[in-house]
Amino acid sequence: MRMLVVAATEMEIAPLVAKLRYTSDSGPRMRTYAYGRHDLDVLTTGVGMVATAAWCSHALARKPYDLGLNLGLCGSFDRALEPGTVVHVRSDRLAELGAEDDETFLTIHELNLLGEDEFPFRCGQLVNLAPPDNTTLRSLPAVDGITVNTVHGNQRSIAAVARRFAPHVESMEGAAFMYACMIQGLVHAQVRAVSNMVEKRNRDAWQIPEAIRSLGQTASDILDHA
């Protein structure tokens, strides 16, 4: 199986890459590895949805893949999803895409600039209706995500986005990856480990090393069952 593995930073996928066998540099920001019977192109896009969308589209236009896998960290709005928990983001949305109307936020769909069910959206979200048939993926909590340019760290904005969308987690890349995969018709999964709760910025409470370890183990388990 040929896979495209996408991450924003090398740090997030370091434990997984350590288990792979390097074969070549295969393009800008991309290296090719082998793992068992799988060939993996590992793409490190850089942080943010613009970089992720651009580099994913570039990669998907160059060659076909059997599976796309997005690995990364996320913040959790749900206290039941504690730091270190690995989740499968089954739906995502571009939470900041819209306009302010004084104290009210209008989504791009409410502005009638994009239909709620206009491809690739479904009810205003990017919904992965056909993820890979994978034992490890099925064992993960399936969650709803939002993708943002500015991660939340203010109680007022946190409460507002929670009321508006009721997300479980947030990232800076997930929806961009899903969008690129969906327009290419690529079977894909967005898998993230919770590194922190979404709250007033509190770096002392972040558990990034633990989250990265959990993500690496889960990612290798997904490959083992692919």
Indicate if the pLDDT at residue 27 is higher than 90: no
- Domain containing residue 175: CATH number: 3.40.50.1580
pLDDT, position 26: 86
How large is the average pLDDT for residues 98-112? 92
Q: For the chain, give the DSSP string.
A: -EEEEEES-HHHHHHHHTTSEEEEEEETTEEEEEETTEEEEEEE--SSHHHHHHHHHHHHHHS--SEEEEEEEEEES-TTS-TT-EEEEEEE-BTT-EEEETTEEEETTTTTSS-TTSTT-BTTBEE-SS----HHHHHSPEEEEEE-SS----HHHHHHHHHHH--SEEESSHHHHHHHHHHHT--EEEEEEEEEESSS--GGG--HHHHHHHHHHHHHHHHHT-
89 touches 143 (CB < 8 A): yes
Q: Which two tokens stand for residue 100?
A: 């302010």
Indicate if the pLDDT at residue 103 is higher than 90: no
Mean pLDDT of the chain: 96
Q: Which two tokens stand for residue 129?
A: 């209706």
175 touches 148 (CB < 8 A): no
Q: Which two tokens stand for residue 126?
A: 């990017």
88 touches 141 (CB < 8 A): yes
How large is the average pLDDT for residues 186-213? 96
Q: Which domain holds residue 86?
A: 2-224
Indicate if the pLDDT at residue 179 is higher than 90: yes
pLDDT, position 68: 98
Q: Which two tokens stand for residue 74?
A: 């996320």
How large is the average pLDDT for residues 15-19? 98
In degrees to the nearest 10, what's the CA dihedral of 219, 225, 39, 10? 0
Indicate if the pLDDT at residue 180 is higher than 90: yes
CA angle 59, 184, 137 (to 5 degrees): 90
Confidence of residue 148 (pLDDT cuts 50, 70, 90): very high
Q: How many separate domains does the chain show?
A: 1
pTM for this model (two decimals): 0.95
Q: Which two tokens stand for residue 49?
A: 């949805």
pLDDT, position 81: 97
**What digits encode the pLDDT tens for the residues 49-90?**
999 999 999 999 999 999 999 999 999 999 999 999 999 999
